[in-house]
Structure formats: structure tokens, C-alpha cells
Amino acid sequence: MSKDVRCPFFRRIICRILLLVLPCLLAVGGCQTTPERLKNQPSIDRAIVEYPPGFDLVPYVKNLTGPCAICFDSEGSILIAESGIDGYDPRVFGFKKDDTFFEIYPRGKRLPFISNSFKLYGPIGGMVATGGKVFVAHCDADGRGRITAFSYDEKTPPKTIVADLPTQGDYAITDIAVHKYSGRLYFGVGAATNSGVVGLDNLQAGWVKFHPTFCDVPYTEIKLNGFRFDTKNPFASIFGGTDLAVTGPFQKFGSSDQSGIPNPNGKPTAAVYSCEQGGGDLKVEAHGIRNPAGLTFNEYGTLYITNQGMELRGSRPIADDPDAFLKMVGGETWYGWPDFSTSLQPITSAQFQPPREMVIRSGYPDVRFIIDHFSSHLIPPSPGPLLFGTFRPLSGASKFDFAPATAAFRKYRGDAMVALFGDRAPFATSGRPMTGPSGYRVAGECRFAPRGGLYPQHERSSRQQTGEGFG
């Protein structure tokens, strides 16, 4: 040991440095508690959570921080992804059938100030295990969406399958599913804005400050109807700048100089994509789907999608747009956003009009079509083949699955069980009161019932009985 270190003064300095650094070492190096698989847990009392007869609801895993996706692999192992909250990093891990815990990302402890070759950034949208790989939809350091394939083998580095997706706005890359016949990966990309126009709500969300040129991107070349939305300019000051920020649809905040959007780059927001598992052959399967939060194939290989409706906020607020359960028909179909509701009705209908005082400050007395559909060669969506059902507005329709033909689920085979994570009031309502909370439950739809036929026994798994369901 050197003379300097023996000196009491230097020992005190070193101890103080260690006291400051050690918490960081522990936090970054894996101080997150290890998830624990629970066994022999008592059923949750139905006075707390109501669920169907013939089933038990029990705690399964504890010590989680922000779980956002779950799947099973071919060996029967359960995989869980966490987006990370309260300063925790995203991670992906699992439990084998014998309850052995294993990590997919990150592996081992990480030290601060030491760069790894790969880092996963949240939010994680979805995850699927197939072909001996775990595919995770997430973001990069700049907020752009990507899909990464992880191996179970610690020596095999992660592989980027798709990158540079437009996810720097309100909604990121969403769920991911694998086609049971072709093996292609299907995934969603949410919209940048509420209804096509960057406004003060997006500044409140925070992303306009970091990505000031970002906005929604259409899939095809479109012609606009010429509407320009007035907004108070938060960047104006006594040193310059106007008090009014005039913004056009599909344009960055404060820009309204385009009568149309020519030559889009082929990577739209508000769309569903597909690609090969090995990467490449990226295709847009559908567009005009505001926030395709959940994607799942049924037993016949048909893709279904949950789509979250527009909200009462921003420069173009929309009232009472329901969340929807959609069916994919292929052929690059336009599902209508931002000029049609998630229920595929014209947004100009009286039922979707916001309070007049909310929209008049943007320069118009009501909400109108912002796209010239005829000149843009966009065919209005038809509810018949596309719409499977709707939920109450602001329900937060998210990930879902179809009941298998096993054990107690046999009588529900093929029925969709949809998680409704709940409303985002007051942000989603511009501070206006709601008539009770929306969502916070699991709802279901019987495939043999006519549209709107909600079977009551399917909708029970809720902390709030709020009346949402299909139809």
C-alpha cells in the first residue's frame, strides 16, 4: 500500500468516494430483486377480484418491476419482459418448467461507465419465442423502434432484425406475433399524435422537446384538405418568435407549408408491419390503425388487433372514440385513422365532435376530414369485414389471447380474452371529468356470438365494474 493511502486524510476521502459509488455499482450491477416463482399460493378472494367460476386466480411471480409482456416457448418455459420503471432498466427473463430462473437480457452484472456492445431501451412493446429465439420489440437510444432476436445461449450476441422504425412520438412499437404457417413476425407501430396534428399535448408528453421534427408519417402519398391548426407557441419569447404556432397535419410542430405529403419513406406510423425472422423483407400489412396495442393470431392463422381510439386532447380533440377489436384482411388495407374512428365511422359524425370551445381555439368550429381521400386514392374502411367489436372509449384495450381447448378453458375455446389497462385521465380528457373509470379489467368475446354479444362470465377479472365490453 502506498504512503498516500495509509494517510488518514486520504483514507477518509477514499471511503467517502466508495460510499458514493457503491450504491451506483449495486444499482447498475443488478440490485433489482430477483423475480421469484411462487408456489402453493391461496386463491385471491373474489371480493377483491371477480373472475369466472371454475377458475382460480393466484399470485404466480413476485419481485417484478414494470412487467409489460409475457410468452411461452416450445419447452413450456414462461418468459417475462419488464420495460423498467422508477429508474430500473428493462430486462427479459424466464422460468423453466422446473421453476429454474434464467436471464435473457441482461446477463450477469453490469458495471457503470463500462459500455456493453448492446443495450436494450424501453418501452418494450411485445415479445414472442419461436425457432429457438426470443424476439423483443423495443426502442434504441434515440427512441426509434427495433426488433431484436435474443438467443438462449449466452455466447450468442443479440441480433437486430428490424431497426429505425418511427416511434419517437406518443406511441412506440407495440405487440409482436408470429404467423403459425409462414413464420413471419407481425408487429405494430403506434401513431405519433392523437389525431394527426402535433400539438401542446405532445409537448406535455415531452417528446417534441427531444424530437422537434418528428410527426406522423403516412404510408402512401396523400393530399391534404388544407386545414392549419392554431396553437399557442410555447417557444415564443420577448427575444423573438410569434405567439402562434400554426401546424398542419402530418407536419412537425409549427409547420404548415405542405398541401400534401409526397413520397413517404415506406415506414409509416399507425401501422402493422411484418418481416422474416432472420430480418429483411419488411412489409406494411395495414395502415391507419392508430395504436395497434395487441396482435394475436387465432387457431386458423387470422390476425386480430386491438386498436386504441383517439382522445379528447390536442389541437384536434376527438370525443368518445371507442377502442376496437379489428380483423386483419391483408392487402395493405387503410383502416381510416385519423379521419375515421376505431369503429370505422367518419370522424365528422356528431358522436365524435368535442365540445365546441375545445376545437374553436384551433381555428375551426368542428372536427373535419384532414385528408382528401379521393385524391389520395384511399378507400374508406368498411366495418363489415374489418371490425370484430368495440370497447368503451378510453378502456385501454391492449394485449390479448384466444382461449385454448385445454382443461377449464375448453368451453371458452377460441374466445378472445382482452386486457383493458384503463383510462389515462386527466391527460386523455384534457382535465375534463369522466363518468367513472374506464378499463381496469379483462373482457372477453365469444367467437360464436354475434358482434356485440358479450358473455358475462367472460368479462370478470376486474377491480372496477365499469360496463365496458364488446358492442
Q: What is d(CA 442, CA 425) in angstroms, rounded to the nearest whole number? A: 19
CA 106 to chain centre: 22
Length of the chain in residues, anyone?
Answer: 471
Q: In what order do the strands lie in the sheet with 67-72?
A: 67-72, 78-82, 91-95, 101-105
- Taking a C-beta distance cutoff of 8 angstroms, is the pair 135, 152 a contact? no
Bridge partners of residue 306, in order along the sequence: 294, 325
pTM recorded for the entire structure: 0.87
Cell numbers describing residue 104:
435473457
Query: What pLDDT is attached to residue 369?
Result: 98
Closest residue by Cα to residue 367 from 320, 317, 429, 427: 317
Bridge partners of residue 260, in order along the sequence: 223
Domain residue limits, the chain = 1-31, 166-458
Query: What pLDDT is attached to residue 19?
Result: 36
CA 447 to chain centre: 25
Cell numbers describing residue 312:
379528447
Mean pLDDT, the chain cut into blocks of 10 residues (471 residues total): 40 36 40 86 91 89 93 96 86 96 84 66 95 96 96 94 97 96 96 98 96 97 97 72 87 95 94 95 97 95 96 97 93 95 97 95 95 97 92 95 85 88 93 88 62 32 35 35
DSSP string, 111-143: -TT---S---EEEEEEEEEETTEEEEEEE-TTS
Count H helices, E strands: the chain?
6, 26
How many CB atoms sit inside 10 A of residue 200's CB? 18
Bridge partners of residue 93, in order along the sequence: 80, 103
Q: What is d(CA 16, CA 152) in angstroms, rounded to the nearest whole number? A: 41
CA 142 to chain centre: 17
Closest residue by Cα to residue 287 from 272, 265, 301: 272
Q: What is the DSSP letter of 244?
A: E
For 471, what's the count of Cα atoms within 13 Å in the CB-facing half-sphere? 13
